[in-house]
Amino acid sequence: MRRVLSPLVLAAALSACAAAPGQPVPQDVRLTDTDLVLRLSDGTQCRTTWAGAPQGRLDGCGPGYGYAVTVAEDPNLLRQLVEGLVLALGGAGLLAPMAEVVITDPAGIDHVFTSPPPGKAD
C-alpha cells in the first residue's frame, strides 16, 4: 500500500527548496552586443562583458551568479531585415542581440531570460 504525504510534510519539503529568506533572486537581464546587466530582486545590478566570454561568473554580485549567453544563430527574416537597416543607418549596437541568457544563482538554480525581453520592440 502506498503512503500519501501529509500536506504538512509536503509544505515543509517545498519550503526547504525555496531560497533562503532575504536571498535576492534574478529579476531581469539586459543584453547589449558587449555587456550583460543582471538586476536582482533587492535592486542590486551586476555587469560583465560577455562578448569575449559567453559563459562565466558575475563575481562582484554578492555570493556570485553564473551566466551563459547563447546567441540565436539564424534570427527570423524580419529581424535580419531590421538589423540590416539599423546597421546601414550607422546604428551598430543599438539592437539587443537575440539570445537566451541563463543565470545560475548561488543555490544552483537556473533562471532563463530571453533577449530582447518578450514584448520589447527591438
From first to last of its 122 residues, the chain has per-residue pLDDT tens of 444 444 433 343 434 444 455 688 999 999 988 999 999 999 999 999 998 899 999 978 877 899 999 988 776 777 667 767 766 777 666 667 889 999 999 999 999 999 887 765 54
Calpha distance 31→94 (Å, rounded): 11
Does the pTM surpass 0.85? The reply is no
Answer yes or no: is 100 within a domain: yes
CA distance 13 to 2: 19
| Residue 16 belongs to a domain | no
Q: How far is CA 24 from CA 21, 39, 42, 111, in A?
A: 9, 10, 6, 13
Establish if 80 belongs to a structural domain: yes
In a domain, 4, yes or no: no
> Domain residues for 99?
24-115
Domain count, the chain: 1
In a domain, 7, yes or no: no
Instruction: Tell me if 8 is assigned to some domain.
Output: no
